[in-house]
Amino acid sequence: MFSDFMLTHAWLIPLLPALAFLWIGFFTRLHKKRSAAIAITMSSLSFLLACGVTWAVLSGPITMETPFVQKTLWFEIGSVRIFMGSLVDPLTAMMLMVVTMVSLLVQIYSVGYMAHDPGAGRFFAFLSLFAASMLGLVIAVNFAQLYVFWELVGLCSYLLIGFYYDKVSAREAAKKAFITTRIGDFGLLLGILLLQITFGTLDFQELKVLVPAYIWISGTSFMTIVGLLLFIGPIGKSGQFPLHVWLPDAMEGPTPVSALIHAATMVVAGVYLVGRAYFIFSALPVVMNVIAWLGGFTAFFAATIALTQRPIKRILAYSTISQLGYMMLALGVGSLTASMFHLMTHAFFKALLFLCAGAVIEAMQDEADIFKMGGLRKKMPVTFAAMTIGVLAISGLPPFAGFFSKDEILGAAAAVSTPLYLLGTLTAFLTAFYMARLLFVTFFGEASPGCPATETNAFMRWPLIVLAVLSCVSGLWGHFAGFGEWVYFGAAEETGIDWVIAGTSTVLSLVAIGLAYEIYVAKRWSAYEISQRFGVLYTLSFNKYYIDEFYTLLRRTFCDGLGRILYWIDLHVIDGIVNGLARLVGVLSTIFTFLQNGQVQRYVAVFYGGVIVLVAYSLFYAYKVLTLLGGAF
């Protein structure tokens, strides 16, 4: 009974935050506290519902193969019938839990973080909409619904990254995020349209039956194109190379937003899409290879950039790209379980890291450069503890969450391809190093004199603690409770630990942390000298391989050149037409106003004028009929 109720009401989960958005947007926008209260209430309710749904999934007969689907006809044009509804399977349930929990914690945190911001009401409205869009995406029953929410997520990220709209850099970053992800969305849209054209449906359950049959009959060549197009969407949204450039800039938004984007609501949408449509991708070896290698490369590539960055949030941003690369790698080598497991643990520890970073930045009065911090360990003990847990988790040290999930990924990669496994392991080493660097530089050493930092307030502290606990236990829980029997594709996976792989990566991580300690705390080697020695590499990494500059160059030559031509056309041709039209409208208005002079006699005259014209038309028609019939009847 209870579980049925929960499943049939799963659609409430995205609806509640959406209501919060409407309510705040329309009524309480100007009241900070009321807005926060509404947003948090709705988020809590939807978190509770998500718990209920998860319980129902765990206790009921629902598995990956037999999901619970409930849908209603949304609209119908011609023969195309588009449905809307909710699809609940273990994957959905896991995502619902993660998204509602992280967004709830972020909202609570924001109460403290945004306490002095005059736009806090707007902020909570956007946060609610953000969560609602992501939840809607998660429970989508078909590609159409998914795409709608996918775009909504993009819109929300635009609104939130550009939240401080009076700052030029924020506006630019928002635009960059929106446009870059739009490029990906275009590919996704093409893919979806091809699916609709080929199969006549966008429904996941129906496609699950149709796609394998289609591939069996006509081979993989056409579907490979579809699959690649579909994958372009996740490349943009999940910040894979080469469309990753928006993600580091996205830190221009308020820090809670970064936490939300990086952990739960935006970037994982791409990973989730691949997971949701895994029945398409997994049948296409070429696409799988692309996913695996692109993921692996992105993981390594982003990690090398993160080594040299200085602003705290930027380091975290590149670490996110790197971790997303891991998830893609796992998907590419065929392990949905590992990818989703890592998605979950990552959501917790990345949210934790970002919220800690926010606390640090706030304590340092908006100073973001880690080398201008230092010695915060004593001033902010709780934050320090939380941050340490986060760093250990992301570095993959047992028994923290990252250890288990990363180990799964590496194991899956090793089973398929040794180069990929090596790439992953190397990335793990780099990850441990740069995260340790972040931790040591920020919290150890000597505090600069006059450093204003103090411990954060309760609203910000408690979410940190909750997330820290989750970062400790979620891996253990997933490992022992059998995550792989729950979220899987094909056959259920055993969650075992390959001790060789796990041991290697753990040792490497420890070495990396030790190395970082020697360099940044014990100062045995000078960081500066090292950077000098690897001059070219350092410069490349520090400047993010000049990819942004490359894009700028591209834009300058192609877009601006084209733009100049188009601008000329616009100025001389289009404007001419538009101005002419505007003048025409003015003239028409004058004529009509002249007629509309308030005299009823004139109204009647115009009326009869119309009558005469129409009667003349009927005469003309009658004449035509008569000539046509030649005077018959």
Partner 1 sequence: MNFLAIGTEIAIALLMLIVLAADLLLPKDVSHRRIGVISMVGLAVILVYTFGQYHIGASPTFFGGLFFVDNYALFFKQLFIIGMLFTILFSLEYTEKLLRYRGEFYVLLLSALLGMCVMASANDFITTFVGLELMTVSFYILVGARMTSEDSSEAAVKYLIVGAASTAVMLYGMSLVYGAAGSLVFSEVCRNIHLFYAAGLAGVIMVIIGFFFKLSVIPFHMWAPDVYQGAPTPVTALLAMGSKAAGIAVFMRILYTAFPILGNFWLPLLAGFAALCMIGGNIMAIRQTDIKRMLAYSSIAQAGYMMVGMAAADLAGMKAVLFYAMLYVFANLGAFAVLTVIDTERGGTSRRDITGLAQAAPLLAAVMTISLLSMAGIPPTAGFAGKLYLFTAVVERGYLWLAFVGFVMSMISVYYYLMVAKAMYRDLTPEEAEYAAPVYVPLTVRAAVLVSVFATLGLGICPEWLASLTNAAVQTFMR
Partner 2 sequence: MNDLILSLHRLIDMGMTMAEELGTPEIILAAVFYVFAGISVLGALGVVLGRNIVHSALCLTASFIGIGCLYIFLSADFLGAVQFLVYGGAVAILIVMAIMLTRREDMAHSNPSRSIPHQLAALVVAGMFLLAMAAVALMSPFQTAPADIGDTVTGIADLMLTKYVLPFEIVAVLLLIAMIGAIILAKGVDES
Which positions touch partner 1 (CB under 8 A)? 26-27, 72-78, 84, 585, 588-589, 592-593, 595-596, 598, 600, 602-604, 606-611, 614-615, 617-619, 621-623, 625, 633
Contact flags string 84-123 toward partner 2, x per CB under 8 A: ----------------------------------------
Q: Which is nearer to partner 2, 554 or 612 (CB)?
A: 612
Determine if 622 is a binding residue for partner 2 (CB under 8 A): yes
Smallest distance from partner 2 to CB 630, Å: 15
Smallest distance from partner 2 to CB 595, Å: 12
Rg (CA), the chain: 29
User: Mapping DSSP to helix (H, G, I), strand (E, B) and coil, where does residue 80 land?
Assistant: strand
Q: Identify the CA nearest to 497 among candidates 422, 408, 399, 413.
A: 408
**Cα–Cα dist 181/152, whole Å:** 12
Query: 227 is written with which tokens?
Result: 């699959």
**Cα–Cα dist 108/120, whole Å:** 13
Q: Identify the CA nearest to 452 among candidates 346, 361, 337.
A: 361
Binding partner selected for residue 603 from partner 1, partner 2, none, CB under the kind-specific 5 to 8 Å limit: partner 1
Q: How many residues bind to partner 2 according to rule CB under 8 A?
A: 13
Q: Identify the CA nearest to 323 among candidates 291, 308, 307, 301.
A: 301
Determine if 591 is a binding residue for partner 2 (CB under 8 A): no
Binding partner selected for residue 499 from partner 1, partner 2, none, CB under the kind-specific 5 to 8 Å limit: none
Binding partner selected for residue 631 from partner 1, partner 2, none, CB under the kind-specific 5 to 8 Å limit: none
Q: What is the DSSP letter of 284?
A: -
Q: Which is nearer to partner 1, 84 or 473 (CB)?
A: 84
**Cα–Cα dist 159/463, whole Å:** 24
Smallest distance from partner 2 to CB 601, Å: 7
Q: Which is nearer to partner 1, 27 or 525 (CB)?
A: 27
Find where tokens 């009558």 sit.
Answer: 611
Q: Which is nearer to partner 1, 27 or 222 (CB)?
A: 27
Q: Which is nearer to partner 1, 454 or 597 (CB)?
A: 597
**Cα–Cα dist 469/465, whole Å:** 6
Determine if 480 is a binding residue for partner 2 (CB under 8 A): no
**Cα–Cα dist 150/161, whole Å:** 17
Strand bridging mode 80-88 / 68-77: antiparallel
**Cα–Cα dist 302/430, whole Å:** 10
Stretch that binds partner 2, among 174-182, 367-375, 395-403, 600-608 (CB under 8 A): 600-608
**Cα–Cα dist 342/424, whole Å:** 14
Q: Of residues 482, 556, 612, 624, which one binds partner 2 by CB under 8 A?
A: 612
Q: Which is nearer to partner 1, 419 or 580 (CB)?
A: 580
Smallest distance from partner 2 to CB 611, Å: 7
Query: 477 is written with which tokens?
Result: 């829980």
CB distance 69 to 10 below 8 Å: no
Determine if 615 is a binding residue for partner 2 (CB under 8 A): yes
Smallest distance from partner 1 to CB 615, Å: 5
Q: Which is nearer to partner 1, 119 or 514 (CB)?
A: 119
Q: Which is nearer to partner 2, 26 or 594 (CB)?
A: 594
Q: Identify the CA nearest to 7 among candidates 59, 84, 75.
A: 59
Q: Which is nearer to partner 2, 525 or 608 (CB)?
A: 608
Q: Of residues 78, 601, 627, 632, which one binds partner 2 by CB under 8 A?
A: 601
Q: Which is nearer to partner 1, 26 or 528 (CB)?
A: 26
Determine if 626 is a binding residue for partner 2 (CB under 8 A): yes
Q: Which is nearer to partner 1, 58 or 585 (CB)?
A: 585
Backbone CA torsion sign across 69, 74, 77, 82? negative
Binding partner selected for residue 574 from partner 2, partner 1, none, CB under the kind-specific 5 to 8 Å limit: none
Binding partner selected for residue 612 from partner 2, partner 1, none, CB under the kind-specific 5 to 8 Å limit: partner 2
Contact flags string 551-590 toward partner 2, x per CB under 8 A: ----------------------------------------
User: Mapping DSSP to helix (H, G, I), strand (E, B) and coil, where does residue 491 land?
Assistant: coil
Binding partner selected for residue 452 from partner 2, partner 1, none, CB under the kind-specific 5 to 8 Å limit: none
**Cα–Cα dist 90/106, whole Å:** 24
Query: 55 is written with which tokens?
Result: 């319980």
Binding partner selected for residue 213 from partner 2, partner 1, none, CB under the kind-specific 5 to 8 Å limit: none
Ramachandran angles phi, psi of 85, nearest 5°: 175, -155
Stretch that binds partner 2, among 43-51, 102-110, 385-393, 604-612 (CB under 8 A): 604-612
Binding partner selected for residue 75 from partner 1, partner 2, none, CB under the kind-specific 5 to 8 Å limit: partner 1
Smallest distance from partner 2 to CB 608, Å: 5
Stretch that binds partner 2, among 227-235, 397-405, 459-467, 607-615 (CB under 8 A): 607-615
Smallest distance from partner 2 to CB 618, Å: 8
Determine if 595 is a binding residue for partner 2 (CB under 8 A): no
Residue environment code for 620-631, b if the CB has 16+ CB neighbours within 10 A, otherwise e: eeeeeeeeeeee
Binding partner selected for residue 588 from partner 2, partner 1, none, CB under the kind-specific 5 to 8 Å limit: partner 1
Binding partner selected for residue 595 from partner 2, partner 1, none, CB under the kind-specific 5 to 8 Å limit: partner 1
Q: Of residues 365, 619, 629, 632, which one binds partner 2 by CB under 8 A?
A: 619
**Cα–Cα dist 383/495, whole Å:** 32
Burial of 614 (0-12, 13-18, 19+ CB in 10 A): exposed
- Looking at the chain, the number of H-run helices and the number of E-run strands are 28, 2
**Cα–Cα dist 82/13, whole Å:** 21
Peptide bond just before 399 cis, omega within 30 deg: yes
Stretch that binds partner 2, among 178-186, 303-311, 538-546, 602-610 (CB under 8 A): 602-610
Element (H, E) at 590: helix 575-595
Q: Which is nearer to partner 2, 75 or 608 (CB)?
A: 608
Q: Identify the CA nearest to 491 among candidates 613, 373, 334.
A: 334
Smallest distance from partner 2 to CB 629, Å: 13
Element (H, E) at 27: none
Smallest distance from partner 2 to CB 596, Å: 16
Q: Which is nearer to partner 2, 511 or 622 (CB)?
A: 622
Peptide bond just before 242 cis, omega within 30 deg: yes
Residue type at position 56: A
**Cα–Cα dist 344/355, whole Å:** 17
Q: Identify the CA nearest to 403 among candidates 391, 421, 385, 415.
A: 391
CB distance 219 to 225 below 8 Å: no
Binding site for partner 2 (CB under 8 A): 601, 605, 608-609, 611-612, 615-616, 618-619, 622-623, 626
